[in-house]
């Protein structure tokens, strides 16, 4: 039986306090289950932004999507996680990734490291968080007995870590692009292979993880081509139909978009869908329709 849908929105744009709280309340009004924040220079600082989101809302969970683990010392991160979980009343979900933008590390005066070194650091961080937050002696204490962990992954070693540690397996639906700091989308057949690889690695888990997909573009319209144009320009050689078929794109009439979301849950197992802030309003009728169908 398929998991029920959950829906998250990743809030990307910094705002003054009143605007930030209003934006979070709007996400709650629209029915989002999780309010998320990224971890990039030029965007909000994750943990204070989530505490402010908790003060403005009552129902949604609150998460990082995802922390650039290279920015963080594991012991200091454990303190941030425990404090934020306590101050949000146990609503925190901790998303972790390796980071992929070298320029941000250089601007912060931090080493970027090779792909292997970045995954090594994430592995150490996961182990330390388990050790520190799993200890009854750690202070401060989180509100939850275990803060759910999401890991964003695509490569084999990252999928192995996700299978071993993550409560939520997040698929970017993309690979590192040819230009540093960019991503290139995976076609459905390529994502099939990545999900199958994860499932093989996670076959011995006692409790299956929730599977998440980050949707990069949502456009509910009878004429999706204008909305797809920026994406088409960044993907030379792809046709409109090929872009429409990408798992990370939900574009077209409402019924078509709803049907594609259902089909991707059936095909890949993606029950937790995250959209970016620019798509928050556009995705709302899709969210509402999917929720209506489940409650019928």
Is residue 3 over pLDDT 70? yes
Tens of pLDDT, residue by residue over 170-211, are 998 988 777 766 678 999 999 999 999 999 999 999 999 999
For 63, list phi and psi in degrees, rounded to 5. Answer: -145, 160
Find out whether 210 and 3 touch, Cβ atoms under 8 Å.
yes
For 194, list phi and psi in degrees, rounded to 5. Answer: -65, -40
Q: What is the reported pLDDT for 189?
A: 97
What does the alpha-carbon distance between residue 81 and residue 78 come to, in Å, rounded to a whole number? 5
Q: Which residue blocks in 109-253 are alpha helix, DSSP H?
A: 115-133, 156-165, 188-201, 225-234, 240-244
The residues spanned by each domain of the chain are 6-295
What does the alpha-carbon distance between residue 108 and residue 68 come to, in Å, rounded to a whole number? 12
What does the alpha-carbon distance between residue 114 and residue 125 come to, in Å, rounded to a whole number? 17
Find out whether 189 and 201 touch, Cβ atoms under 8 Å.
no
What does the alpha-carbon distance between residue 88 and residue 91 come to, in Å, rounded to a whole number? 6
What does the alpha-carbon distance between residue 201 and residue 206 come to, in Å, rounded to a whole number? 13
Coil vs helix vs strand at 125: helix
Based on its alpha-carbon atoms, the radius of gyration of the chain, rounded to whole angstroms, reads 19
| Distances from the Cα of 73 to the Cα of 113, 261, 280, angstroms | 15, 37, 32
What does the alpha-carbon distance between residue 192 and residue 224 come to, in Å, rounded to a whole number? 25
Tens of pLDDT, residue by residue over 221-275, are 999 999 999 999 988 889 999 999 999 999 999 999 999 999 999 999 999 999 9
Q: What is the reported pLDDT for 187?
A: 96
User: Where does the pLDDT of residue 1 fall: very low under 50, low under 70, confident under 90, or very high at 90 and above?
Assistant: confident
Residue 218, token pair as written in the block: 């949502």
What does the alpha-carbon distance between residue 132 and residue 267 come to, in Å, rounded to a whole number? 37
Give the pLDDT mean for 37-45: 97
Of 128, 150, 143, nearest to 75 by C-alpha is 128
Which residue is listed with tokens 């849908």? 5
Q: Give the single-character DSSP code of 140.
A: S
CATH architecture label of 6-295: Alpha-Beta Barrel (3.20)
Q: Looking at the DSSP assignment, which residues form a beta bridge with residue 67?
A: 96
Of 241, 250, 247, nearest to 284 by C-alpha is 250
Question: Considering the chain, what percentage of its residues have pLDDT values greater than 90?
Answer: 92
pTM confidence score: 0.96
Q: What is the reported pLDDT for 181?
A: 60
Is residue 146 over pLDDT 80? yes
């Amino acid at each position: 039986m398929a998991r029920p849908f959950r829906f998250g929105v990743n809030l990307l744009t910094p705002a003054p306090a009143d605007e930030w709280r209003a934006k979070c309340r709007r996400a709650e009004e629209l029915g989002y289950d999780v309010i998320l924040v990224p971890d990039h220079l030029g965007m909000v600082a994750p943990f204070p932004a989530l505490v402010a989101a908790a003060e403005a809302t009552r129902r949604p969970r609150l998460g990082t999507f995802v922390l650039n683990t290279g920015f963080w010392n594991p012991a200091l991160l454990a303190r941030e996680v425990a404090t934020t979980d306590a101050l949000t009343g146990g609503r925190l979900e901790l998303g972790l990734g390796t980071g992929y933008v070298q320029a941000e590390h250089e601007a912060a005066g931090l080493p970027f490291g090779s792909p292997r070194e970045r995954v090594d650091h994430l592995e150490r961080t996961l182990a330390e968080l388990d050790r520190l937050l799993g200890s009854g002696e750690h202070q401060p204490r989180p509100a939850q007995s275990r803060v759910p962990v999401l890991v964003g992954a695509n490569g084999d070693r990252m999928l192995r870590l996700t299978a071993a540690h993550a409560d939520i397996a997040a698929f970017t639906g993309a690979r590192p692009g040819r230009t540093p700091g960019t991503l290139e989308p995976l076609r459905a057949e390529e994502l099939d292979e990545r999900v199958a690889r994860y499932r093989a690695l996670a076959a011995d888990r006692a409790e299956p993880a929730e599977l998440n997909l980050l949707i990069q573009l949502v456009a509910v319209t009878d004429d999706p081509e204008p909305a797809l144009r920026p994406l088409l320009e960044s993907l030379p050689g792809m046709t409109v139909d090929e872009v429409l078929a990408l798992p990370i794109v939900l574009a077209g009439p409402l019924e078509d978009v709803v049907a594609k979301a259902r089909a991707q849950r059936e095909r890949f197992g993606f029950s937790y869908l995250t959209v970016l802030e620019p798509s928050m309003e556009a995705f709302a009728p899709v969210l509402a329709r999917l929720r209506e169908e489940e409650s019928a």
